[in-house]
């Protein structure tokens, strides 16, 4: 355990975090193996620095499970399939389990057909997009993941009604000696979590993140409820969010547009979350090693290229998360005092052993 | 023929445009059926308002063909395939022919396997991305298209070396009574063509489109050579351009990064252009009519939603292009005097009949 006294931030090791999450999810009814799988994926999010998508979400997940909004004994199944495609019905199970199932299926299909597309409906929040895009890397495959976000914070371009979510895309591409390229991005300038974090810290947010309903820049995050997020590239980000929502949501019979349940405000309604995962088997396109070396070359060309004045390093997508992963795998995951206290109360509430420290 | 005397703009009908383009391409060696197919696709670009990607490109295409940079008798073939995937080798043929071949193949495969992914190498500039994403609509399929642009105008985020192109994405999704949703966007704030157009007109460009190599906003498009385009959403657009380039280029053995040939400055080097086309057969996910009605509902929810002050209409991706297509199919395609003169010189040069007017 590393404590930084001035901040109260403490770091926790992977086994402790996984065991605590598994205890909590077991206490609300998940079978032990399912609880362990969700815990593993949630901690992987924390290890990669996706702090808003890991153990931070545990109290909310527990609250929604207890309210009956999530099925703890889902029968995850395939509603339609070919050798290259499947439509998975998550039976309202935890999103991590549903997406784990869908991604394994996608990889098996891609191993035979070189490409697969698996759509998912009746799932739930599954953590950061990169988790699933990265799974195919283990088999030298490329992963591409799309999802409908679990709250609408984005209006169409020119509008003020929040009919769209921050619908993310993640793409993971294997390299040889370099870390893989892992793009994981919302289609808005800032994720809503960043706005909430700024509000907690009493900080202002930059112009360009949000507008109010009169079209004026909104920079006080405590007023976030009076405005909405801005898409990247104006109408372009709106277009991306829209088509990703159609591909991950509407096409699969999952929620999109007005049907989206705001899971931050509503603990009782099933979200019918939609996702899509695509796997591409590199070896059908090129010898795997040659492809991975080409990716290395591009990475190094970019990293070593000339920089703007004042820029210390040119980064590749996923590079910072990889560094964080290496650090946190060694030093543990830092949790702030508010989250520590919240998890302590959760343990008491569930009658389970608290999160043990390193 | 509609002439607007003050501007010299004249409109030309589809058959005249197609016939002229086919004559020109035939004169430089394309077989008649190939010349006709390229002509049809180029005029379709003009009809949809993609003015920088239609007949405007003809003089450049002719120049490159005459210089030996493009193969007028390609043997377009399949280098690798499964039931759901193919890697197409374009044998350096006109991009329109190569992408027409690849997209038909993708649709045939998707009809059997619900999804297909066709990668393409050794192709050439193929016009606007939407052309190919839209082809699957005819079979109630969704189309998704990625390409490596034919000139690098984008540095990595924080850099000044233009190692990336404006790598576009297009996604076309069928609707029932509404026009299809057709997103077609570069990953930069503005396409380079818009900068060139502004320079021709003697107009300034807005801040946010380009930077100079010191990191200062570049607003005089005549200085475009001293700067570079900005990606949408900063590092996010850089990430999108990078992964689209890897998927459409590197994976297929096509040019990407330092290998990209600037086809505006170089008439003699084959570009080895890469593309990717994905087709998804809607009926494997949901009854086609039900899906298309759901798309209609979302379109109408968006169009009828509350607007920001001063906004007259909320548009859907592809809506304006659809309106333009309907208008131009009736009234013809307007060409400015400079382009008319250029095409006239081209006809003289090739010894073919000039573009006839309506």
Proportion of chain B in helix, strand, coil states, percent, rounded to 5: 45, 20, 35
Q: Is A353 exposed, middle or buried (0-12, 13-18, 19+ CB in 10 A)?
A: exposed
Nearest CB among B158, B307, B313 relative to A308 is that of: B158
Residues with Cβ within 8 Å of A16's Cβ and at least 6 positions away in sequence, in order, are A355, A356, A357, A358
Chain A residues with CB under 8 Å of B307 CB are: 158-160
Q: Which two tokens stand for residue B76?
A: 């377009």
**Whole-number pLDDT of residue B1:** 47
Q: A234: nearest CA in chain B?
A: B232
Q: What is the DSSP string of A212-249?
A: ETTS-B---GGGGGGEEEPBTTTHHHHHHHHHHHHHHT
* Domains of chain A and CATH, by start: 1-66+319-358 (1.10.1530.10), 74-188+232-305 (3.30.1370.60), 189-230 (3.30.60.50)
Size of interface A-B (CB pairs under 8 A): 242
Q: How far is CA A263 from CA A257, A349, B61, B81, B215, in A?
A: 14, 21, 53, 43, 41
Record: contact B80-A284, CB cut-off 8 A = yes
Furthest-apart CA atoms within chain B: distance in Å: 57
Chain A interface disruption, residue of B156, B190, B258, B275, most A CBs within 10 A: B156
Q: Do B310 and A113 touch (CB under 8 A)?
A: no
**What is the distance in angstroms between the Cα of B309 and the nearest Cα belonging to chain A?**
6
pLDDT tens-digit map of B119-131: 999 999 999 999 9
Contact B314 A156 (CB under 8 A): yes
Listing DSSP states for A273-333 in one string gives EEEEEEEEEGGGTS-HHHHHHHHHHHHHHHHTS-B-TT---PPPTTHHHHHHHHHHHHH-E
What interface predicted TM-score (ipTM) does this complex get?
0.96
Beta-strand (E) ranges in chain B? 3-4, 9-12, 77-81, 85-89, 115-123, 141-147, 152-154, 164-165, 169-173, 181-185, 210-212, 227-229, 273-281, 333-335
Select the residue of B113, B159, B301 nearest A163 (Cβ to Cβ): B301
Of B87, B235, B258, the CB nearest to A301: B258
Interface test with B, best of A243, A249, A293, A304 (most B CBs within 10 A): A243
**How much is the average pLDDT of B320-339?**
96
Residues of B in Cβ contact (< 8 Å) with A301: 163, 257-258
CB contact under 8 A, A155 and B297: no
Tens of pLDDT along chain A (358 residues)?
Answer: 455 556 899 999 999 999 999 999 999 999 999 999 999 999 999 999 998 899 999 999 999 999 999 999 999 999 999 999 999 999 999 999 999 999 999 999 999 999 999 999 999 999 999 999 999 999 999 999 999 999 999 999 999 999 999 999 999 999 999 999 999 999 999 988 789 888 878 899 999 999 999 999 999 999 999 999 999 999 999 999 999 999 999 999 999 999 999 999 999 999 999 999 999 999 999 999 999 999 999 999 999 999 999 999 999 999 999 999 999 999 999 999 999 999 999 999 999 999 986 5
B142/A251 Cβ within 8 A: yes
Q: Do A183 and B158 touch (CB under 8 A)?
A: no
Q: Do A160 and B308 touch (CB under 8 A)?
A: yes
* Binary contact (A157, B314; C-beta < 8 A): yes
| Per-residue pLDDT tens over the stretch B140-181 | 999 999 999 999 999 999 999 999 999 999 999 999 999 999
Alpha carbon distance A229, A157 (integer Å): 11
Across chain A, where does the E strand assignment appear? 3-4, 9-12, 77-81, 85-89, 115-123, 141-147, 152-154, 164-165, 169-173, 181-185, 210-212, 227-229, 273-281, 333-335
Q: Which residues pair with B227 in a beta bridge?
A: B212
Distance (Å) from the C-alpha of residue A261 to the closest C-alpha of chain B? 16
Residue with tokens 């992987």: A44
């Amino acid at each position: 355990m590393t404590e930084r006294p001035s901040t109260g931030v403490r770091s926790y090791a992977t086994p402790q975090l996984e065991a605590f999450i598994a205890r909590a999810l077991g206490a609300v009814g998940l079978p032990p193996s399912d609880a362990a799988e969700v815990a593993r994926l949630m901690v992987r999010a924390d290890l990669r620095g996706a702090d808003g998508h890991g153990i931070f979400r545990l109290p909310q997940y527990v609250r929604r499970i207890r309210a009956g909004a999530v099925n703890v004994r889902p029968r995850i199944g395939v509603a339609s399939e070919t050798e290259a495609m499947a439509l998975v019905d998550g039976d309202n199970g935890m999103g991590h389990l549903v997406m784990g199932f869908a991604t394994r299926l996608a990889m098996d299909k891609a191993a035979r057909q070189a490409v697969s597309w698996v759509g998912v409906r009746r799932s739930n929040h599954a953590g950061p997009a990169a988790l699933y895009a990265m799974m195919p890397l283990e088999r030298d495959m490329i992963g591409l993941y799309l999802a409908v976000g679990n709250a609408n914070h984005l209006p169409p371009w020119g509008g003020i009604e929040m009919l769209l979510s921050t619908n993310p895309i993640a793409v993971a591409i294997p390299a040889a000696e370099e870390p893989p390229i892992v793009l994981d991005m919302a289609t808005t300038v800032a994720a809503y979590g960043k706005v909430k974090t700024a509000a907690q810290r009493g900080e202002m947010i930059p112009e360009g993140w949000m507008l109010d309903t009169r079209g004026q820049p909104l920079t006080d995050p405590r007023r976030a409820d009076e405005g909405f997020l801005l898409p990247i590239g104006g109408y372009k980000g709106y277009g991306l969010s829209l088509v990703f929502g159609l591909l991950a949501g509407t096409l699969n019979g999952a929620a999109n547009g007005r049907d989206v349940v705001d899971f931050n405000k509503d603990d009782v309604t099933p979200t019918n979350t939609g996702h899509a995962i695509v796997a591409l088997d590199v070896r059908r396109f090129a010898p795997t090693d040659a492809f991975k070396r080409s990716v290395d070359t591009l990475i190094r060309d970019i990293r070593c290229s000339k920089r703007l004045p004042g820029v210390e390093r040119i980064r590749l997508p996923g590079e910072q998360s990889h560094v964080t992963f290496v650090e946190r795998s060694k030093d543990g995951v830092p949790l702030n005092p508010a989250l520590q206290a919240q998890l302590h109360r959760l343990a008491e509430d569930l009658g389970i052993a608290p999160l043990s420290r390193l």
